[in-house]
């Protein structure tokens, strides 16, 4: 729905106008009890917004015991920011009129646009979009709940609950006003103040990318947290993520579900497998997004990122006071895909000398009674583990006291905070269960700025795993877009002349992939029994016979693949059987011929592919292939283009990587051939651009030497 017109300095100026208005005009002011306009009026005065606030309603002369303005011309100064609560059909013209008098921005709280079931909603939405483009106004919404900027003491929201006005390190925004306000409350409960909050609504005007880009330039904002339902323009969204990444500001994203479109079965299997959530993780994750699955995970991630440096690796160490907590950490680490490595020999010896009998000297380290009663030994334990080169992140057992009487515990916390101030490694305290905070614990928390306080073991370790993966992606290089392949581009242009959506048959699909270095077996297309026999004689028996028809993408489903054909008579019989099977189909598809191919065996069946995700664009897929592809679903995704390092990383994210390396004494397979094939697929994706719908190479047979595509399907969008 976004017009895509804002970017760069223009986008910054617009968001700045939205959050720092000179005055506010409340359009739709009314005396109706409990109405939103009155709530906004009360909140602007309650929190002492420094500018003037003007009620506006063409049908009223007074409201809320004050003058109500009936036209923009009556205002004592030019309007700057509008809070619009007029019916949807009047909103666009209201913006046009206000712009004539100098209005720079507006928050459209009104609903009834594209989100509404009534057909006129789309008309109102289109009219609003046109008004925004005509006027150049900065507009948040429609269908939103207002905004908050602590630095400007600006609160245009309808929420009656008390809000803190402290310029904190977090910017929060999202398409659901209720969820965004819950994010703010949850963070404040943990002692993390929100610098700014925006409820973005339908994002007909300004969108998520504009807000990310803006906060990437705001010095006091260190972490950006957002709730995203859909990405309107992937190019600007990814560019904004990269801008925040380059500014050293993590963007924590709670993303709502996978789109139906992304999960609909396309002509190729990869279209069904590459749902938008996985594609979002692959593409947006590389650009700088740290996606979390729920609001609790978002809170933990923000807590860690505000207070701790990013870990330089994935090796964790822990100190506990309880054997039970030690077990919880071990289980939680396994669930999060992390593992505890043994302590180094030097660390083991030092800890044994330090703690003596009654402790479990390992990782996690359980100090037991000694850790609780001997502060010096406890601090020395922390210091020793921080110095261990095999530990990248240290997790400690403790929770913030919620009242006086725990001086020893508080002294330990202060000592560790001081110790960590000079360390480049993150240290996080982890509680057994989630719990609330109070003024005492929040006040103590402000005195411990170098420590993270995470709640509940599995949440905490999931947070650590997410942050570690994020840090790892930040350090990965992104290859430049490859030079176009002349042969591949020529074939793409030839196929484009087919016109309209084009499902390429197996012969054309393989020819295109072969132009990018993907290996193929010996095979020939035959249009008669005699041609089929001659091809088989040249290739050598046994052979495989496969139907070729762009109208039948999945040949096995209709009996169009016959394997192990041993002689000329078998070839003739196979040709006749395939021809009869196609002729018996109700829609009478055209048979373009029968492909005679060498019988290749003795390798591992894999899948290589690509899909054009409806939200995020092109994405590469790799995993275990063959007939069990969708059942096993051992696949991983990556953003194109790939180089050797990124292709190897993609392979390593699958269980198939263990089979490729030689599992249980079996010989290793030709990983380099697989890497080259994946790079080739990614280069084809780059050359095809918006013309590509999907690529499905299944199976790709990887052997001890080389690899070949036994079947392939490329689907183009030639109307792009």
Q: How far is CA 665 from the centre of its chain?
A: 38
At 477 the pLDDT is 80
Would you put residue 141 in left (φ > 0), alpha (ψ -120 to 50) or beta? left
Give the CA dihedral 417, 422, 423, 428, nearest 10 degrees: 10
Exposed/middle/buried for residue 141 (C-beta within 10 Å: 0-12, 13-18, 19+): buried
Residue 583 and residue 539 in contact, taking contact as beta carbons nearer than 8 Å? no
Q: How far is CA 659 from the centre of its chain?
A: 29
Q: Quick count: other Cβ atoms within 10 Å of Cβ 408?
A: 12
Enter the tokens of residue 506.
Answer: 């197996």
At 500 the pLDDT is 60
Q: Which single residue is written with the structure tokens 């069990």?
A: 628
Long-range contacts formed by 62-68: CB under 8 A, 24+ apart: 63/29, 63/30, 63/31, 64/29, 64/31, 64/38, 68/29
Q: Cα separation of 17 and 206, whole Å? A: 12
What residues are paired with 147 via a beta bridge?
198
CATH of 604-717, picked from 1.10.287.890, 3.30.470.20, 3.40.50.1820, 3.10.20.30, is 3.30.470.20
At 602 the pLDDT is 85
- Domain ranges across the chain: 8-249, 309-474, 522-598, 604-717
Q: Cα separation of 524 and 531, whole Å? A: 9
CATH number of 309-474: 3.40.50.261
Strands 289-292 and 251-255: parallel
CATH number of 8-249: 3.40.50.720
Q: Quick count: other Cβ atoms within 10 Å of Cβ 352?
A: 13
Q: What are phi and psi of 477, to 5 degrees?
A: -80, 150
Instruction: Divide the 720 residues of the chain into consecutive groups of 10 and give the mean pLDDT of each group.
Output: 54 96 97 90 96 96 95 97 96 97 97 88 94 97 96 94 92 94 94 96 95 97 95 91 96 77 40 65 94 95 97 94 91 93 88 73 77 79 92 95 91 95 95 93 96 96 97 87 94 82 87 95 93 95 91 82 93 93 87 92 92 88 80 87 95 94 89 97 95 92 95 81
Q: Quick count: other Cβ atoms within 10 Å of Cβ 366?
A: 24
At 267 the pLDDT is 40
Same fold, 8-249 and 309-474: yes
Q: What are phi and psi of 410, to 5 degrees?
A: -65, -40
May I ask the CATH architecture of the domain 522-598?
2-Layer Sandwich (3.30)
Q: Quick count: other Cβ atoms within 10 Å of Cβ 633?
A: 10
Q: Cα separation of 227 and 238, whole Å? A: 15
At 628 the pLDDT is 63
Q: Cα separation of 378 and 394, whole Å? A: 14
């Amino acid at each position: 729905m976004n017009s895509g017109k804002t970017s760069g300095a223009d986008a910054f100026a617009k968001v700045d106008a939205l959050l720092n208005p000179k005055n506010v005009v409340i359009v739709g002011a009314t005396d109706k009890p409990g109405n939103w306009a009155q709530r906004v009026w009360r909140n602007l005065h309650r929190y002492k917004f420094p500018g003037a606030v003007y009620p506006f309603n063409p049908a009223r002369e007074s409201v809320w015991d004050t003058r109500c303005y009936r036209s923009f011309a009556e205002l004592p100064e030019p309007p700057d920011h509008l809070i619009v609560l007029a019916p949807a059909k009047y909103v666009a013209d209201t913006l046009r009129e206000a712009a004539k008098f100098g209005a720079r921005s507006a928050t459209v709280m009104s609903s009834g646009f594209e989100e509404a079931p009534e057909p006129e909603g789309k008309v109102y939405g289109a009219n609003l979009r046109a008004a925004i483009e005509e006027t150049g106004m900065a507009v948040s919404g429609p269908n939103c709940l207002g905004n908050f900027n602590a630095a400007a003491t600006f609160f245009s929201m309808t929420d009656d609950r008390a809000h803190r006005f402290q310029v904190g390190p977090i910017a929060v925004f999202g398409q659901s006003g209720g969820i965004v306000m819950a994010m703010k409350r949850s963070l404040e409960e943990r002692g993390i103040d929100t610098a700014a909050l925006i409820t973005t609504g339908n994002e007909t005007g300004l969108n998520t990318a504009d807000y990310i880009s803006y906060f990437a330039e705001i010095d006091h904002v260190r972490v950006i947290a957002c709730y995203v339902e859909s990405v309107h323009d992937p190019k600007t969204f990814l560019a904004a993520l990269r801008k925040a990444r380059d500014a050293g500001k993590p963007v924590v994203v709670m993303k709502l579900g996978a789109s139906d479109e992304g999960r609909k079965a396309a002509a190729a299997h990869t279209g069904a497998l590459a749902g938008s959530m996985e594609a979002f993780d692959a593409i947006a994750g590389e650009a700088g997004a740290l996606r979390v699955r729920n609001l609790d995970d978002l809170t933990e991630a923000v807590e860690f990122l505000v207070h701790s440096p990013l870990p330089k690796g994935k090796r964790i160490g822990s100190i506990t006071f309880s054997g039970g907590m030690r077990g919880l950490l071990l289980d939680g680490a396994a669930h999060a895909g992390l593992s505890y490595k043994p302590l180094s020999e030097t660390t083991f010896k030092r800890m044994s000398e330090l703690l003596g009998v009654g402790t479990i000297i390992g990782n996690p380290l359980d100090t037991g009674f000694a850790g609780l009663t001997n502060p010096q030994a406890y601090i020395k334990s922390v210091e020793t583990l921080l110095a261990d080169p095999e530990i990248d992140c240290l997790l400690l057992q403790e929770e913030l006291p919620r009242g006086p009487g725990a001086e020893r515990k508080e002294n330990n916390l202060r000592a560790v905070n001081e110790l960590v101030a000079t360390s480049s490694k993150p240290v996080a305290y982890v509680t057994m269960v989630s719990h609330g905070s109070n003024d005492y614990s929040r006040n103590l928390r402000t005195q411990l700025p170098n420590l993270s306080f995470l709640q509940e073991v599995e949440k905490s370790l999931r947070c650590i795993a997410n942050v570690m993966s994020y840090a790892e992606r930040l350090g990965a290089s992104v290859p430049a877009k490859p030079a176009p392949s002349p042969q591949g581009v020529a074939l793409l242009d030839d196929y484009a002349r087919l016109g309209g959506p084009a499902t390429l048959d197996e012969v054309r699909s393989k020819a295109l992939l072969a132009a990018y270095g993907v290996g193929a077996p010996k095979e020939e297309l035959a249009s008669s029994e005699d041609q089929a026999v001659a091809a088989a004689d040249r290739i050598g028996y046994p052979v495989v016979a496969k139907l070729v028809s762009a109208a039948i993408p999945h040949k096995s489903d209709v009996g169009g693949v016959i394997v192990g054909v041993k002689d000329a008579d078998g070839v003739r019989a196979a040709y006749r059987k395939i021809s009869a099977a196609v002729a018996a189909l109700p829609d009478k598809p055209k048979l373009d011929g029968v492909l005679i191919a060498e019988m290749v065996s003795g390798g591992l069946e894999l899948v290589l592919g690509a899909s054009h995700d409806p939200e995020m664009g092109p994405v590469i897929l790799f995993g275990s292939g063959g007939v069990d592809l969708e059942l096993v679903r051992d696949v991983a995704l990556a953003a194109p283009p790939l180089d050797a390092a990124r292709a190897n990383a993609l392979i390593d994210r699958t269980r198939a990587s263990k089979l490729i390396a030689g599992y249980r004494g079996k010989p290793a397979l030709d990983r380099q051939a697989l890497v080259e094939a994946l790079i080739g697929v990614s280069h084809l994706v780059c050359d095809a651009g918006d013309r590509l719908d999907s690529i499905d190479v299944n199976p790709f047979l990887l052997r001890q030497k080389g690899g070949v595509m036994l079947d392939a399907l490329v689907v183009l969008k030639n109307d792009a």
